[in-house]
Structures are given as C-alpha cells and as structure tokens.
Amino acid sequence: MARVLLEAQDLHLSFRGVKALVGVRFSVSEGDLFAVIGPNGAGKTSLLNVLSGLYRPQQGRVVFLGEDLAGQSPQARVRKGLGRTFQNLELFRGMTVLDNVKLGAELAVGGYTDLAPKAVQEWKIRRHAEEVLDYLHLSPYRHAPAGALPYGLQKRVEVARALAGRPKLLLLDEPMAGLSLEEKQDLARFLLDARREWGVTLVLVEHDLKAVLELSTGVLVMSYGEVLYQGAPAGVRENPRVAEAYLGRSA
C-alpha cells in the first residue's frame, strides 16, 4: 500500500444554515486518481476549497504529507505541493500562455528574489515551462495571450500551469466540463501521462460519470455535503444510496 498523501478528517463546513460539508472523511494515497462526484450542490467544490485553504472548516482537519494544514494560507499550501485548478477558468487572461506556465514553473524550479532577476534561473524556468508546453501540445500558442485562446485550449493552459509546478497532488475542479469528446480524451490522456511520468497524484471533481469510472482508482460520492460512498469505481453503480441520489427514489 502506497503511503497516504492527503487525509480529510471529519470536515464540517456550513454557510449560515446551509451545511456544505457534514463529517467528510477520506484519504488519498500516492499515485491515486481519486474522483469526487455528486449532484449539483453536493459540496464538491466546497470540499476542494477547504482542501486548498480558501475556506476554513468549522471542524475537522486536513492532513497533507503527515502535516496538519490548519491555519496555512493558500499560497503556502501550493508551495508545499498541493496544486489546484478551477472550474470556471481562472487564467491570467492578459498574460501569454508562456508566462502563465512560467509562473507555475517557478514553484518547481525555485524562484529567486523577485527584485534581483537572475538570468540563469530564468532560463531554467523557461526550459521547464517549454517542456510542459511541449507535453500538453501547447507550444504553438506560447506567445498568444491566454484570454484569446478557445475554451478547450484555455482549460489545457490551466492544467499546464498547475502541472508546471510539479505538485505532489493536484486538485482539479471539473477539468472536462464544457469540452468536446476529443478534447476530453486528450485531457484524460495528458492527466494519465502526467501521473505516470511525474508521479502527480490527482484528485478530480467531475460530472462525467463514464470518464470517472474509466479513469479513476478511487471514488468518493457526495450528496448534500455527506459522503454516500467511498471505494473502488466498480462499486459505484451497485450502491443503492448513490442510485437514489442520482436517479431518484423510485428508481
């Protein structure tokens, strides 16, 4: 059994009366492709926001690499290797694709004091960024402003930026939403390659059940902030509670 990378222990989060997370607990091991699924409003994105430090849970702990992350800022968590992409594109639209990826690459290559630019370090960052661009077939667009690219490519740029930082674990919020079938297949291939080549563990929130069941090694099903099912993807369809949440009671 590979070592446990990320552990959520009894997470509770509520906004006034709305309970977004109710006692969510799960763990992700190194090398996993862990999928979080559930109907709209199930608390999936809230869960990712708690993990990456944008929301503070009222109760419970997030343990990453054996360390409690409570009180650590989002950027501190990113520097520790907990990457994140967003559901609605949060690219730097005015920056070129290359600059977007370079910004991510700084995390992996290591920066320098920003007011004293170092050419050697900058070239290293560039080489690293180009490698990632090449990998995700983005090289032809490197000097284009990210905001000017078509949607599918923007999604890919966001994944490239996150992967360039070589996170140990990458939280992906609906990376495939709104993509065409080919784009989905491409992206899935890129993610699987990244996992194999760079040893990135992936946690992804996804609506496309078929993609999830084919790709993932572990699944967490949520509904109204509660965990309905956790385990192998094969068991999802058989689980009566999942069927109820997705298809309705009469089914």
Partner 1 sequence: MYRLSQSLTDAFSRRFSRTVREDYRQDEAYASTPQGRFWLAVAIVGLLLLPLLLPQYPMFVATQILVAALAGLGLHLLVGGAGQISLGQAAFVGIGAYTSSHLSGDLAPLGILAGGLVAALIGVVLGIPSLRIKGAYLAIATLAFQFLADYIFKRWTDFTGGVAGRKLPAEGTMLGLSLADDRVIFYLGLFFAIPMFFYAKRLLSTRAGRAWFAVRDNDLSAQLSGVDLVRSKLTAFALSAFYGGIAGGILMHLIGAVTPENFVLSFSIQYLAIVIVGGAGTVLGAVLGAFFIVLIPEVLSVIAGAFGPQYVAQLSAWRSVAFGVLILLFLILEPRGLVGLWGRIRDYFRTWPLPY
Residues that bind partner 1 (CB under 8 A): 52, 54, 73-75, 78-79, 84, 86, 90-95, 99, 102-104, 106-107, 111-112, 114-115, 117, 119, 122-123, 125-127, 130, 161, 165
User: Closest distance between partner 1 and the C-beta of residue 95, in Å?
Assistant: 5
Angle, helices 119-135 vs 97-109, to 10°: value is 110
Show the tokens assigned to 204.
Answer: 């992804």
Cβ atoms 179, 93 nearer than 8 A: no
Comparing CB distances to partner 1, the nearer of 52 and 223 is: 52
User: Closest distance between partner 1 and the C-beta of residue 216, in Å?
Assistant: 23
User: Closest distance between partner 1 and the C-beta of residue 150, in Å?
Assistant: 18
Comparing CB distances to partner 1, the nearer of 114 and 238 is: 114
DSSP string, 88-114: S----TTSBHHHHHHHHHHHHH----T
Comparing CB distances to partner 1, the nearer of 43 and 104 is: 104
Cβ atoms 32, 87 nearer than 8 A: no
Comparing CB distances to partner 1, the nearer of 62 and 219 is: 62
Cβ atoms 166, 108 nearer than 8 A: yes
- 3-state secondary structure (DSSP) of residue 62: strand
Say how far apart CA 132 and CA 170 lie, in whole Å: 15
Show the tokens assigned to 228.
Answer: 């309905």
Q: Give me the residue label for tokens 């809230």.
A: 46
- The contacts of residue 125 (CB under 8 Å, 6+ apart) are 102, 105, 106, 109
Cβ atoms 239, 223 nearer than 8 A: no
User: Closest distance between partner 1 and the C-beta of residue 244, in Å?
Assistant: 35
Comparing CB distances to partner 1, the nearer of 157 and 228 is: 157
Comparing CB distances to partner 1, the nearer of 67 and 90 is: 90
Question: In which element (H, E) is residue 11 found?
Answer: strand 4-15
User: Closest distance between partner 1 and the C-beta of residue 170, in Å?
Assistant: 11
User: Closest distance between partner 1 and the C-beta of residue 161, in Å?
Assistant: 7
Comparing CB distances to partner 1, the nearer of 75 and 180 is: 75
User: Closest distance between partner 1 and the C-beta of residue 221, in Å?
Assistant: 26
Say how far apart CA 1 and CA 18 lie, in whole Å: 37
